[in-house]
Amino acid sequence: MRGPAWPIAALLVGYPVWWALGFGGLSVIVVAVPMAVVLWRRRPIRVPRGFGLWLLLLAGYLVSGLMLSEMPPGTYGEIGPGRVVGYAMRLALYTAILIMVLYLGNLTERELPQLRLVRMLGVLFVTTVAGGLLGVFAPSFAFTSPVELLLPDWVGSNSFVQNLIHPTAAQTQKVLGFASPRPEAPFEWANAWGSNVSVLLVWFVVGWWVYGGRRQKVFVAAVIALAAIPVVYSLNRGLWIGLGLAVAYLIVRVGGRTRVALCGAVAAGAVAFALSPLAPLVAQRLDRPHSNDIRAFTVTATVAAAGHSPLIGYGNTRNAMGNHRTITTGRTQWCEGCGHPPLGSDGQLWLLIITQGFTGAALYVTFFVGAIRRHRADRSPIGLAGVLVMGLVLLYMFIYDGLVTPLSLYLISFALLWRNSRGEITCAMDPQRSEDIHHATPSGARP
């Protein structure tokens, strides 16, 4: 917590405190201020290749604010404080994340060792597992945060803001046909928990298993075994698919004894899971794909609405008339549960299409595809993990909203790849541990 790297340590290691205070995902905006000060003092600032796309994405979002008062056909509502607050909050988040990437890339290895940053993400994974277990075993846990007490009602009562500032352990939904909790602590909603736990798991394994000793590996195995409980109870099919593809990716990319060990671990884990009481819950979820109709309606309506402003979008989400069953249902003051989720709420791709048009969506996709193309030859553990996360970003954009916390983790992973490509970053290893990553590292390269 000393030196110029303290803001990122405060963000990742201190995240439970931010969550309890009511900042949660908004904490990146707070720590972006000292990060910007650090950047200002060490000009000129290094910028990663391809980052101009992110600058264009941010500039496009500024322009999209001109459309906040417009209503595309098939939607309803008038411009009000909620729409403006949502737009301003997303703009602040996009800007803060941009600052964070530049800040991480301009710190030296001495100021912030690469392995230390990876292990900070691993600490946040442990926090995420603890929050998931809280959501499973104490789903009604919630409290009013200090930020919630201080905000005026016209801001705090907004549903988007409320999810960010009101700490809760789980979301209760009827995914299986009856009310069941889906873990979300310490993040803003259940889908954010699903996205984050998978990304953080990647870095947890790299930091504490690949570069860890025997005690660390025992700890990793125990935490992952515990993580299986909230992962299953999350009823999150996107998360399950992401984990499956991550395992397949690693089996293909690594070689030698590492591949054999990974296949053995996967086989043992699959048998243990099949014999556990968690397996029937997965089967029940797969038998009830009721959210497919909801997603299909929202995506279709989003694309149709965006077609009326394809270049710059509408700045924020909109409410569609009706739902997937009827066009006569809409949200009202006396029935908040009526109607349908806002357009763009079923994935970052759809959010970008409605808020920034097809141009914004193309910039986002091109940015992460470019990161994969530039770094796919990096076969160090951090390189393999970073490219894997970039791939998960492209998968999750169809099903998860990247804001608030997921996008922060995506861009931290991008910064790790950038730092790794500079050739200045090394991870200290004991001689007896070098064999663990030998087959994942090209000859002569330093992990």
How far apart are the C-alpha atoms of 43 and 143, rounded to whole Å?
A: 43
Check residue 439 and give its pLDDT: 39
The overall average pLDDT reported for the chain is 85
Check residue 437 and give its pLDDT: 38
- Which of the four pLDDT bands, split at 50, 70 and 90, describes residue 423? low
Check residue 398 and give its pLDDT: 92
Check residue 107 and give its pLDDT: 94
Give the CA distances from residue 288 to residues 181, 291, 298, 313, 375, in Å, rounded to whole numbers and listed in that order. Answer: 16, 8, 19, 34, 39
Check residue 177 and give its pLDDT: 66
Per-residue model confidence as pLDDT tens digits over 250-274: 888 887 777 787 788 778 777 776 7
Per-residue model confidence as pLDDT tens digits over 53-86: 999 999 999 999 999 999 998 888 888 888 888 8
C-beta neighbour count of 142 within 10 angstroms: 13
Q: Judge whether 118 and 207 are in contact, CB under 8 Å.
A: yes
Got the DSSP string for 82-139? HHHHHHHHHHHHHHHHHHHHHHHHHS-TTTS-HHHHHHHHHHHHHHHHHHHHHHHH-T
Position 441 pLDDT exceeds 50? no
- Which of the four pLDDT bands, split at 50, 70 and 90, describes residue 335? low
Check residue 336 and give its pLDDT: 53
Check residue 10 and give its pLDDT: 96
Alpha helical stretches, state H, 157-236: 159-165, 190-205, 214-233
Position 279 pLDDT exceeds 60? yes
Select the more confidently predicted residue: 275 or 377: 377
Check residue 358 and give its pLDDT: 96
Got the DSSP string for 233-260? HTT-HHHHHHHHHHHHHHHHH--HHHHH
Check residue 151 and give its pLDDT: 86
What is the number of residues in the chain?
Answer: 447
Q: At what angle do helices 348-375 and 51-64 cross, to 10 degrees?
A: 160
Per-residue model confidence as pLDDT tens digits over 146-201: 999 988 887 777 777 888 899 999 988 877 666 788 999 999 889 999 999 999 99
Per-residue model confidence as pLDDT tens digits over 344-380: 888 999 999 999 999 999 999 999 999 999 999 999 9
C-beta neighbour count of 245 within 10 angstroms: 15
Q: Determine which of 6-20, 310-324, 420-434 has the lowest per-residue pLDDT on average.
A: 420-434
Check residue 158 and give its pLDDT: 73
Check residue 333 and give its pLDDT: 55
Q: Cβ neighbours of residue 43 under 8 Å, at least 6 residues apart?
A: none
How far apart are the C-alpha atoms of 79 and 68, rounded to whole Å?
A: 7
Check residue 139 and give its pLDDT: 93
Check residue 174 and give its pLDDT: 74
Q: Determine which of 32-36, 112-116, 253-257, 381-385 has the lowest per-residue pLDDT on average.
A: 253-257
Position 430 pLDDT exceeds 60? no
- Which of the four pLDDT bands, split at 50, 70 and 90, describes residue 432? very low
% the chain with pLDDT above 70:
85
pTM over 0.85: yes
Q: Judge whether 159 and 206 are in contact, CB under 8 Å.
A: no
User: Of 193, 192, 121, 199, whose CA–CA distance to 392 is shortest?
Assistant: 199
Check residue 3 and give its pLDDT: 86
User: Of 350, 260, 243, 374, whose CA–CA distance to 300 is shortest?
Assistant: 350
Q: Judge whether 184 and 199 are in contact, CB under 8 Å.
A: no
